Amino acid sequence: MAADGFFRVALGVEYKGSRYRGWQRQASGVLTVQETLENALSKVADSPVSLHCAGRTDAGVHACGQVVHFDTQVERSLKAWVMGANINLPHDVSVSWAQVMPAHFHARFKAIARRYRYVIYNDQIRPAHLNEEITWNHRPLDVERMAEAAQYLVGTHDFSAFRAGQCQAKSPIKELHHLRVTRHGKMIVLDIRASAFLHHMVRNIAGVLMTIGSGERPVEWMKEVLESRIRRSGGVTAHPYGLYLVQVEYRDEFQLPERYIGPHFLTGFAELDG
């Protein structure tokens, strides 16, 4: 809860994670998104700002729908929070909106769903563009096989087989609302929405799906991996470059501004939002 005399402010944030060792502030000298954003906001507030985020992304992972909040006694216009932060931020972090929230709002604990997209560039030749914003896979991938395998994961399951060893979640049981696999020219997009995610869960799912899409394993292998509940049965963890936190959802009582569901280079594909 925000203390008396404080305002609770929520922000929409997007960033390219390539240069950062993840969201969470770490030891001195380690570049993180949290510290970078806190430093910029502290200049706007002319006092220290401490942030809470909806989802702590890993090193190299991007966001275009991150939600954060902080408490402050400083009065600034919403435009001042946005423009002031952006003036003080590097080119790869941007604040997209600001809104004063009720004291019981919390960016992380009040979130009811999170949505990620994993973008694969599927071509024999390595791309020169977006090389840290997409994952390149040179093997021809069968999207229909990947989409069929993905359906084994929809629903409420024990996702231990897709959980990193250092995961701190209390339970491996999560509800996965949808997992769509679509092709758009050379790009394949995995669109995944769940109540919450385990550490490396999306990247481990992506690794299994690409293995199935290449024909190395049958479609039914996804079911076997899921039911094994053993991480080593699922193969490699996919690279972080293609992973984006694209949306965080809250109950209707928290009316947050809406923006496009990114990343920005996919906004022309209307069928992704189906």
Indicate which residue of 58, 71, 123, 158 is catalytic. 58
Helices within the chain (DSSP H only)? 33-45, 78-88, 143-150, 201-213, 221-228
Compute how many other C-beta atoms are within 10 angstroms of the C-beta atom of residue 50.
Answer: 12
Compute how many other C-beta atoms are within 10 angstroms of the C-beta atom of residue 103.
Answer: 13
**DSSP SS3 for 4:** coil
Task: Extract the tokens encoding 187.
Answer: 């790009």
Compute how many other C-beta atoms are within 10 angstroms of the C-beta atom of residue 236.
Answer: 12
Distance of CA 46 to the CA centre of its chain: 30
Query: Is 142 tagged catalytic?
Result: no
* Residue 260 assigned as binding residue: no
Let me know if 155 is exposed, middle or buried by CB neighbors in 10 A (0-12, 13-18, 19+): exposed
Compute how many other C-beta atoms are within 10 angstroms of the C-beta atom of residue 1.
Answer: 11
Active site residues: 58
Where is the binding site, in residues?
116
Where is the binding site for substrate, in residues?
116
